[in-house]
Amino acid sequence: MQEEEPRGWRPAVAALPAAAAALVYAWARWCFGGAAPPSPAVAVAGGAVLVLGASAAYALSVRGAGGLFGALFLALGLLSTVAATERTAARAETATCVVREVHAETEASFGEGGAEKTVYRLALDCPGGRPGELKDAPSPLSRGAEVRIAYDPRGRLSAVPAGAARPWKPALSALLLLALAAVLAAHRRRPQP
């Protein structure tokens, strides 16, 4: 005989991805832009507890293959939420900097096609000395070129080219992954005793 679910249990579990995303978003927002944010170690540890705790709660509530895949989708969706939050966090200062050095590194891709990707890191000379570098520059710039940079004067966020921090890809990934986790939770079947 199949065990009865408590009334309202399925909608509550299906709402877990949205609730977890709201908590992770609030935590990340505070860590990236709060007036008195925690230290980086506490920020990472707190984020890890939230992501792993929500994933474990989901897996225990849903169970079976749906619980495993749903927990995986939930964890990836929460990490995408953090990435989208980081991209929308305020980088309050801008500066026009001169490229001092260009470092190029070729990374192999193990995905489809196996194409190599070149990543550029620029050492910068900026007014006031900050920021000192631009990681993952979108394209190579020659030595001596000027580039406009947006940065966080507290140093909590990495510098980006001015106007380049677009959160659309991680935000859409987060929505898709969290929706998949919610659908799996809403349509799960209770295991037979």
pLDDT tens digit sequence for 42-72: 999 999 999 999 999 998 888 788 888 989 9
Q: What are the DSSP calls for the chain, one per residue? A: -PPPPPTTHHHHHHHHHHHHHHHHHHHHHHHHH-SSPPPHHHHHHHHHHHHHHHHHHHHHHH-HHHHHHHHHHHHHHHHHHHHHHHHHS---EEEEEEEEEEEEEEE---STT---EEEEEEEEE-GGG---EEEEESS---TT-EEEEEE-TTSSS--EETT----HHHHHHHHHHHHHHHHHHHT--PPP-
What does pTM read for this prediction? 0.70
Over 90: is that where the pLDDT of 164 sits? no
Per-residue pLDDT of 18-49, as tens digits, reads 999 999 999 998 888 777 888 889 999 999 99
| Domain regions of the chain by residue span | 9-90+167-186, 93-161
